[in-house]
Amino acid sequence: MTVLKTTHNTIIAGKYCGKPVYCTPNANDIYQNLLKLARTGHHWARVTVEGVQSLASGRLHQNNIFVRPNHLARGGTEEFVMILPGCKVTVEKLPNDKFKILHFDADLNFSELQGDEKKPSLYRASKSRDGWQTALQPDYKILPEKDRYVAISDIRNVRSSSVAEEVADYLADTPNTGSQKIDANGFDLHFTPGQKRVGGLVNYKEAISPIEAKNLNESAYLLARAMYDARDIKGISWVSEFGGSGILTQAMKMLADQKVSLEKHTIFLYRPSTSPNEAVRIAQQLNLNLDRKVTHTHPLDVIGNRDQIEMIISRVRSKNDNYKLKYSPWDLLSYGTKLQGASTTALTIAGVSTLGVSNPQTLFFVTAIGAIAGFGKLGMNLTEGWAPRLHKKTNKLLGKN
């Protein structure tokens, strides 16, 4: 790409087609470094450069979730912040509808941070005698195999191999699969490291409006690109676990805004901590091939169960969904039964709390004592609802699958 020098700014895109995109000298220095990284095979840098160059086609508006309004600059022009992998770009929209890049806030060592598992990355997960292993995929390409599973993890503060071991159990619970299939074929893992979990009652606003969660933009952008690049691979299942539903929802929204179609793929939400109805609504826009069952929830999953009725009604009405009207009475009945079980469990929780058991760490004690006293099933149910990962460990200690 030819770069043109002007008196004060540099034109970095749009010389022969589209609208010119200008760049201040300081910002241009960083942009040139990004170009070098992109040309030497750094996938994240290539995706970021393409995002910046897309400004030449005028694709910058407040409805784009990559973009956050910043403030009005001098003269009344608008400023925006673009959220791209490894980079925040401050852009000014000029009166002539052209754009000027004012500032780059970039992590040029993004690839190294991915290697250290400190940035969102794609891994190939495979099982060996020593357990689950993960291998970083710097090109962010999904393995081109039919009926491939891709797991989207919640934000997690553990190593990718530990996440893969847990996620493998969740994938085995999805429709038309099983542990033997997952163990034999492995899966791809979109892993997002970090401290703060996504959604849930603690982050209720984020849970009901995952599209607005700024902290998910970087991860969602990389996932959206991977989904787009894999659009011609048949039978891919994009399976989120817990807060991964928020990242998946954002990624799908990015693709839906670009009118992408993924009719060869499907999604599944394992115990989503963000709105499943929002995810399914956007999935319909992408023409995804949705199964009758698209979620797995626990009776105590308030967010995952919150809008199930609305989701069922929406699926019946949608023309871009395989869901049939005849399914709805049975699915509504099943949902009601689950809620009834949740209310019974809630009453028992009140009794358990009087014993001083009020946090997930002590639920292991409830389970162990309950097994002896004859109410182990209740203890396990509480543990599964409040601390699902502890529940998995407890099952292994007790010799259960």
CATH number for position 227: 3.40.50
In a domain, 379, yes or no: yes
Q: Give the total number of structural domains in the chain.
A: 3
**Domain of 71?**
4-108
Shared domain for 102 and 123, answered yes or no, is no
pLDDT for the residue numbered 341: 55
- What are the C-alpha distances in Å from 199 to residues 140, 256, 274, 342, 386? 26, 22, 5, 20, 14
pLDDT for the residue numbered 289: 94
Query: What does DSSP assign to residue 308?
Result: H
- Out of 75, 108, 141, a domain closes at 108
Counting Cβ atoms within 10 Å, is residue 341 exposed (0-12), middle (13-18) or buried (19+)? Answer: middle
Shared domain for 65 and 123, answered yes or no, is no
Look at residues 222, 204, 179 and name the one whose alpha carbon lies nearest to residue 85.
Answer: 222
Dist. CA 316–CA 385, nearest whole Å: 29
Look at residues 164, 135, 128 and name the one whose alpha carbon lies nearest to residue 239.
Answer: 164
Shared domain for 302 and 175, answered yes or no, is yes
- What are the C-alpha distances in Å from 384 to residues 305, 310, 337, 345, 360? 15, 25, 18, 12, 10
In a domain, 334, yes or no: no
Sequence-distant (≥ 6) Cβ neighbours of residue 206 within 8 angstroms: 198, 199, 212, 213, 246, 274
- Out of 261, 291, 323, a domain closes at 323
Query: The pTM is what?
Result: 0.81
Shared domain for 281 and 362, answered yes or no, is no
Shared domain for 222 and 82, answered yes or no, is no
Strands of 73-120, DSSP E: 78-84, 87-93, 99-106
Residue tagged 């396990």 (tokens): 380
In a domain, 332, yes or no: no
Look at residues 113, 102, 46 and name the one whose alpha carbon lies nearest to residue 79.
Answer: 102
In a domain, 341, yes or no: no
Shared domain for 196 and 308, answered yes or no, is yes
Shared domain for 162 and 258, answered yes or no, is yes
Sequence-distant (≥ 6) Cβ neighbours of residue 351 within 8 angstroms: none
Shared domain for 261 and 131, answered yes or no, is yes
Dist. CA 122–CA 109, nearest whole Å: 17
Counting Cβ atoms within 10 Å, is residue 362 exposed (0-12), middle (13-18) or buried (19+)? Answer: middle
Shared domain for 93 and 123, answered yes or no, is no
- Which tokens is 142 given? 């999904």
CATH number, domain of 8, equals 3.30.2310.20
**Mean pLDDT per 10-residue run, the chain (401 residues)?**
45 61 88 93 91 75 60 70 88 83 91 95 95 94 95 95 94 86 95 93 92 92 95 96 97 91 96 96 96 91 89 90 87 76 47 44 41 43 52 54 57
Dist. CA 346–CA 352, nearest whole Å: 10
> Phi/psi at 13 (nearest 5 deg)?
-160, 160
Look at residues 254, 214, 275, 323 and name the one whose alpha carbon lies nearest to residue 47.
Answer: 254
Shared domain for 49 and 141, answered yes or no, is no
